[in-house]
Every structure is written in C-alpha cells, then in structure tokens.
Structure 1
Amino acid sequence: MGGKRRRLAQKEQANAKRLQKGQPGHDDAAGQPKPKKGANPAHQQKQHEKPTIPFNPEDRILLIGEGDLSFAASLATHHRCRNLVATVLEKSAQELTEKYPHAAENLTAVTSPPPPPQSDDEGEEEEDDAEEPDHHLAAAGRDAAPIKNRIVYGVDVTRPLPASASRPPPSRILFNFPHVGGKSTDVNRQVRHNQSLLVSFFDHALRALAPGGTVVVTLFEGEPYTLWNVRDLARHAGLQVDRSFRFQAAAYPGYHHARTLGVVKARSGEGGGGWKGEERAARSYVFVRKGDTPLPIGTSKVNTGKKRRREQDEDDSDDDF
C-alpha cells in the first residue's frame, strides 16, 4: 500500500508542476475528463454544433419539390414564416395525399399554422425578452402579419416556373434532396438524369430569383450524390457558391424526409419502410447570382418549447470554393 500511495503522490506532484508551467496534465487544461476510448472528437463536435438556418422568417421563400410538405409545415409552424410558397409535382391535393397519406396535416399547417406555443419557463423567456427587445417586437410583428403561405401544385422544375410560384420574385429558393426517382438501375445513367434535373432547376431558379437572393440545394453526403458535381452545375448556370453547411433535420421540428416515389411500405405493412433520410448526413449548398452580394441572414430562432437560443446559428462553411 505504501508504494501505491507514493506513486499517487508523485503523480499529483507531476500534474501540479505541469499546471504551473501552463501545460495540461493527465486531464485537459480545463479540468475536463479525457474522452472515452474510441470517441471521435470531430463527431462529438458535430453533435453539439449549432444549425444554420439559411433564411429569415420575413423572406419570401420558394420551396421546390416539397414532397409531403413536412419541411414547409415546419417553416410555417416553428420558424413563423408568413410569406412561403411550397411547390409539389403532384397536380392536386388529392393526388398528393394519395401518394403521402400523412400530408393532409402538413397541408393545413402550411396555410393555417397554429399560434406559436408559449415557453413553459416563463422566467427564462422574460429574461430573454428583456435582453432582446428588438427581436421580441419583430417576432410579435411577424405573428400579427397576414399569412401569405400557399401551395402550388403541378410544378415540374424541368420546365419554367409558373408565375403563381415565381411572382413576386423570391429571395430564397430551396430545393431539398432533389432526385428524379428510379429512372435507371445504372449508376452512371442515374447520375446523368439527376444532373439534368439540377441544370434545369438552376436555369429556372436563376430567372425567378430576386436580386441578392440565394438558391439552396441540400444533398446527402457521399456517393452517388457527390458524383453529381452540384457546384460545377450551378457555376455553369450563372451562379456562384456562397458557402455550404451541414444540414440538420432537428432544426426543423416535424420534418421527415419523403421519398420521390412516395411512402414505402415496410414488411409489416406499415408506412416508412425503415427509411430515415433525415438521420443521414447531408449538406446544404448556398448559391448566389454571379456578381451579386447575397442578402444577409439574421437570427432565426426555432420555437421548440425550450429556452430560445441567443445567437445566430453558426455554420461550418467550406472555405475551399
């Protein structure tokens, strides 16, 4: 026992000397325990990374290829967007709900979003409001503004956007997870089909975009999506890359990835088929018209019933564009 105590005493003395010299000891300099074996520091950092919201609630937002409308519903309900146009390929609400039976609730949420819920922690809300009076008044003004959200059916991005979707010009155009569906089982052909889809989208989006507006495309990371070369396609269309950031589905409560072909049945017969696209790593790319200065993005706070965040969500922008 005496030898063990001596070793512990020597260890403590060595740590004390390191701290006096400004060097970390066996724990890090802040006194935090060492990470568990096998832990990936980059992965741990991403777990706590603040999400980037690429729009302001006051922006006129155009959503392309909205699928089951769950993303649009989240923007209307949780982000308090009041000037939102969501487009779908389906020609009617009936066709949409036949493809995505759960879309009826999202459809209502887009056009008639409920009032934002009050925080359970009134003390913390009041403290935040006292420190941020301008934001509080701005939020109150948004909630009092008339709701202009609407849904436009039968929009095919391989064709020019109809005036009902593109007028007045939107300041943000978002296309989440574009995909042509199962055109081919050949990877190269499938890549070409999706590249053709994006080329058409960029061309038509550029014509509709307001000065300084941004176009945002979100794709899954890894192949085959990296083979699409979305940045080069956008450049050839007359757009330039502003930045990119990691897409975090959790920033959009209620959002679930919808497949192009509709709801997939699982073996049990239930909808979903085990597909959880919102859990896959994805990245959003922000483009602006060449020569334009992009409109600024302010603080967009997600109303999830928890204490509101104080700062603008930061991105992990790519600097190598």
Structure 2
Amino acid sequence: MGKNKRQKLQSSGGRKPKPALAKTQGGRVSKPAPNTPKPKPHIQASQAEPTIPFLFNDQILLIGEGDLSFARSLVENHDCRNVTATVLESGKDELEEKYPHVGENIEVLEAAGAVVKYAVDAMKMPPWTDKKGRGGVGIMDRIFFNFPHVGGKSTDVNRQVRYNQELLVAFFKAALPSLSPKSGSSIIVTLFEGEPYTLWNIRDLARHSGLQVEKSFKFQAKAYPGYKHARTLGVVKSKKGETGGGWKGEERPARSYIFVRKGDKGAPLLGTNKQEEKDDEGEEEADD
C-alpha cells in the first residue's frame, strides 16, 4: 500500500472513504438509484445473427440460380437435400459460357441428390414435382428467387422498372400453384436495397397476386459460405478477356422478403435476430 493511500485511510479512521454524493439545487443529497440497469449495446446489422428462412428438410425450389453457388451452399453448409435448382439457360454448355466455374457446383449438387433443371423461365414455369416425380401441385415448402432481374433490356430506368415488375408479377402467378398448402410455406425474394429496386414496389406486386409480406430481413451472404453473386449477363471479363475482380454483389446491402398466402402465417425462422424482427414489424405497419 502506498504512503498517500495509508494517510487517507488513517484520517478516516482506517475505513475507505465513501464516494461523494451529488447535491441538488435545494442542498439535499441525491442518492444513486439502486440496481440501475445498464443500457443494452446496439447491435449493428452486420453483426446480427443471420436469418435462415428454411429448415434442412424443406422441399426447396430455387429460381434463376445463375452459377448455382447459393444452391451448393445450401447442400454443403445447411445439409439440405430436397433441393431443385433451376436456371434460364438451355443447358450446361450455355451455362458454362456465362459462368466457367459452374461445372464443379453442378457436380456437388448432383452428388448430394439435388436436382438441376435447365431452360426454366420464372414467368412461365409449370407446377413442380419433387425430385422423385411425386406431387405436382403444392409440393414446395420454400420457393426462392434471389436477385431477380431481366438483364440489360433497356438503359431507361422507367422501362427497366416496368420490365422487372412484369417479371415479378408473372413469377408470383407461376409459383403459387407449386407452393405447399401447409401453413408457413413461403415464397422468398431477395433484392438489393435502394433505387431502382425500391421503385419496383414488390410489396404491392405481391398483394395483387394474393400474397402478403410475412416479414423481411437483411440478407447476409456470410450465412452461405461459398456463395458469390452471379450477374444475369454472366462473369464480367476485362478487355483482355481475363476474369476476376469486378463488382461483388454479395457485399452490397440486400433484403429478403418472405411472402405467404393472404391470411397465412410464416413458419419460425432459424437464427432470427429479435431486434430485426421488431424493426420489420414496425415497417410493415407503416407500409400498410
């Protein structure tokens, strides 16, 4: 014990001095409130636990899968086996022209028992069966359409908005017959945040199609190791024909919307952040 500290204890009779109490304007002493709860730390969106909007045993249909890296992550990292992944391209050769690395993803999916289907137009697809050919109507528990986009049909923003709205309306109409009648079955669409995507008014498009937003959440690519955003036009190449670099869409803020039939309730989600759920409920009320 230091010399100065011993002197202070001796002057107070050997007892440690009590902390000074603040005085109010009237001269009275105000005591601190007992057991004052500490403020909870704010959780940044990037630190929140990712929301996983499916269960491993769900029948899952993926639309417009691009390079199939999302489907591969479901199989490898989430133990999903009832996966049907679809692409717009007519076959494997055309798909490899756009995404040269896609062959490995296909091998992993097929080895795990997942199904890859080609030439599937999201606007015109028929009711789906499961991978054994059973069912036909109402077989899918989850139908995903991540980052739908018609591609570079026009440089005019208004036309692009209209084209993508037409895509989504037709998709909702085509997907509904394949959605399981079980309560909690859902269609999940992921869009980038900000304009022009907010101009699509996806909530209104869904309402007119007999659906409602059950909730929405931040899409976090880290929940799907190995996933890379695949652009509609394919892998971006430099003037020298080299691939790599370029725009990394998986790092851009995005949001997923869970749609259920009107009057239905969504199934419990895995890894849902409670604060995020609360924020979304407020958002829904404001939109309604």
| Common fold by TM > 0.5 | yes
Structure 2 CA distance for partners of 1:88 and 1:259, relative to 1, 3 Å: same
**Structure 1, residues 78-110: CA drift from partner, whole Å, max 9, x if none?**
000010000000111111111100111111121
Kept after mapping to 1: 8 A contact 2:140/2:180: yes
More displaced 10-residue stretch of structure 1: 101-110 or 182-191: 101-110
**Structure 1, residues 220-249: CA drift from partner, whole Å, max 9, x if none?**
000000000000000100001100000000
Give the whole-Å Cα distance in 1 for the aligned partners of 2:89 and 2:127.
14
Give the whole-Å Cα distance in 2 for the aligned partners of 1:161 and 1:77.
28
Q: Are residue 199 (structure 1) and residue 169 (structure 2) matched?
A: yes
Residue of 32, 35, 54 corresponding to 1:21: 32
Give the whole-Å Cα distance in 2 for the aligned partners of 1:167 and 1:176.
23
State the identity as a percent: 58
- The residue correspondences of 1:264-283 to structure 2 (distance < 5 A) are 264-266=236-238, 269-283=241-255
Give the whole-Å Cα distance in 2 for the aligned partners of 1:191 and 1:273.
28
Q: Which residue of structure 2 lines up, in the alignment, with residue 314 of structure 1? A: 273
Q: Are residue 285 (structure 1) and residue 257 (structure 2) matched?
A: yes
Q: Which residue of structure 1 lines up, in the alignment, with residue 221 of structure 2? A: 249
Residue of 100, 120, 136 corresponding to 1:167: 136
Amino acid at match of 1:189: R
* Gap runs ≥5 in structure 2: 1-18, 24-30
User: Secondary structure of 1:76's partner?
Assistant: helix
Q: Which residue of structure 2 lines up, in the alignment, with residue 77 of structure 1? A: 76
TM-score by length of 2: 0.79
Kept after mapping to 2: 8 A contact 1:51/1:313: yes
Amino acid at match of 1:223: E
Q: Which residue of structure 2 lines up, in the alignment, with residue 110 of structure 1? A: 109
Give the whole-Å Cα distance in 2 for the aligned partners of 1:105 and 1:202.
31
Residue of 169, 172, 177 corresponding to 2:147: 177
Deviation at 1:74, TM superposition (A): 0.2
User: Secondary structure of 2:80's partner?
Assistant: coil
TM-score by length of 1: 0.71
Residue of 145, 158, 161 corresponding to 2:123: 158
Give the whole-Å Cα distance in 2 for the aligned partners of 1:261 and 1:228.
20
User: Secondary structure of 2:44's partner?
Assistant: helix
User: Secondary structure of 1:151's partner?
Assistant: strand
Give the whole-Å Cα distance in 2 for the aligned partners of 1:267 and 1:16.
71
Give the whole-Å Cα distance in 1 for the aligned partners of 2:141 and 2:106.
23
User: Secondary structure of 2:154's partner?
Assistant: coil
Amino acid at match of 2:44: Q
Kept after mapping to 2: 8 A contact 1:155/1:162: no
**Structure 1, residues 193-217: CA drift from partner, whole Å, max 9, x if none?**
0000000011111121111310000
Give the whole-Å Cα distance in 2 for the aligned partners of 1:15 and 1:107.
71
Deviation at 1:269, TM superposition (A): 3.9
User: Secondary structure of 2:264's partner?
Assistant: coil
Q: Which residue of structure 2 lines up, in the alignment, with residue 59 of structure 1? A: 58
Amino acid at match of 2:172: F
**Structure 1, residues 96-144: CA drift from partner, whole Å, max 9, x if none?**
111100111111121214xxxxxxxxxxxxxxxxxxxxxxxxxxxxxxx
The structure with the largest alpha-carbon Rg is: 2
How many equivalent pairs are there?
Answer: 250
Structure 2 CA distance for partners of 1:15 and 1:258, relative to 1, 3 Å: farther
**Structure 1, residues 50-83: CA drift from partner, whole Å, max 9, x if none?**
0000000000000000000000000001000010
Kept after mapping to 2: 8 A contact 1:155/1:161: no
**Structure 1, residues 2-58: CA drift from partner, whole Å, max 9, x if none?**
xxxxxxxxxxx67999xx7159xxxx958x9xxxxxxxx96x622310000000000
Give the whole-Å Cα distance in 2 for the aligned partners of 1:151 and 1:14.
73
Give the whole-Å Cα distance in 2 for the aligned partners of 1:241 and 1:163.
23
Amino acid at match of 1:171: D
Structure 2 CA distance for partners of 1:224 and 1:29, relative to 1, 3 Å: same
Give the whole-Å Cα distance in 2 for the aligned partners of 1:271 and 1:163.
35
Give the whole-Å Cα distance in 2 for the aligned partners of 1:163 and 1:207.
8
- The two structures, once aligned, show a CA RMSD in angstroms of 2.9
Q: Which residue of structure 1 lines up, in the alignment, with residue 47 of structure 2? A: 48
Kept after mapping to 2: 8 A contact 1:152/1:164: no
More displaced 10-residue stretch of structure 1: 271-280 or 55-64: 271-280
More displaced 10-residue stretch of structure 1: 186-195 or 160-169: 160-169
Amino acid at match of 1:167: G
Give the whole-Å Cα distance in 2 for the aligned partners of 1:278 and 1:241.
23
Structure 2 CA distance for partners of 1:14 and 1:110, relative to 1, 3 Å: farther
